[in-house]
Amino acid sequence: MNDESKEDYEKIPCACCGNEMNLEKKLQKSNLYRCNNCGISDTRLNS
Q: 38-45 contacts: CB < 8 A, separation 24 or more?
A: 38/14, 40/14, 40/15, 40/16, 42/12, 42/14, 42/15, 44/10, 44/12
Q: What is the largest CA-CA distance in the chain?
A: 29
pLDDT digits (tens, 9 = 90+) for 18-39: 999 999 999 999 999 999 999 9
Q: How far apart are CA 19 and CA 30, in angstroms?
A: 21
Q: For residue 11, what pLDDT band results from cuts at 50, 70 and 90?
A: confident
CB contact at 8 A, 18 and 32: no
**pTM (predicted TM-score):** 0.72
Lowest mean pLDDT among 3-7, 8-12, 26-30, 32-36: 3-7
Q: How far apart are CA 41 and CA 23, in angstroms?
A: 10
Domain boundaries, the chain: 3-45
Q: For residue 45, what pLDDT band results from cuts at 50, 70 and 90?
A: very high
Is residue 10 scored above 90 in pLDDT? no
